[in-house]
Structure 1
Amino acid sequence: MSDNLHVVCSHCGGVNRIPAGRLEQNPKCGKCKHPLFDGHPADVDDAMLQRQIQRSDLPVLVDFWAPWCGPCKMMAPAFAQAAAQLEPHVRLLKLNTEQHQQLAGQLGIRSIPTMILFRNGQELDRMSGALDAGGIVSWTRSRVG
């Protein structure tokens, strides 16, 4: 088994092969030279979300939200704090369901905020409702082992 991981850049979508031992050494994208991790969740569109889910060897945690949603606004800072704790071992992304209604419908998003945790292109688990940063981190770590 290889100790290299495929990590998708959230800036350009480039797929980078990174030795697992280098994840915490602030690796940069070979294509666009941006840091692969910055401790903040990335806002993504349909195409970038699909690329992250399908091509990344890292677990991908997605917050499905909308700008008019009060609980979503309350959870946004907690999700950002969770990113600072979970990266670089989990990729955190945000998808605006108002702008990407078709994908949200395909994924069965019925209420927001909803978080879905993906690994190897498959949904591992989902959680609806707002959580604090500690709750997000605990929930995620309990699912990715």
Structure 2
Amino acid sequence: MRKIALLTGGCAAVVAMAVLGTGSAAAEAPDVVGETFATASAILKSQGYKAQFGGAIGHDLPQSQCMVVEQTAAGRMQRLRLDCNLAPGQTQPAAPNTHRLVPQGGSMPGLPDGNGASRPTPGAGTVTVVPVPVG
């Protein structure tokens, strides 16, 4: 009789662990609607999901800065539809990791020409191309 009680208690523990263990496997992907595509991709990746581009409306913004407007699941793959239009009054942001090599005005400040004035940046200014006839 004592063996049956221990066996029943052990089976109940195994069933309880199985029920609790399946709860995390059936969890839904995090909702990333309203986030930028870059942020949404990072959130999904941290949770073990993969973000997939599912189309876009507009083309004013780079893909990483577009807002997620719809999210559909396909297993561990999350298809994200984006809105790449600028909001009213919003200006187009600079592309990430880009820098101006020549400042506006065409001169490098702080490079004196010997008299204390700024000298022109080599290559800055207007470029004139003269076509040469061939033949």
TM value normalised by structure 2: 0.28
Q: Which has the higher contact order (CA 8 A, sep 6+)?
A: 1
Higher helix share: 1
TM value normalised by structure 1: 0.26
Instruction: Indicate the structure (1 or 2) with the bigger Cα radius of gyration.
Output: 2
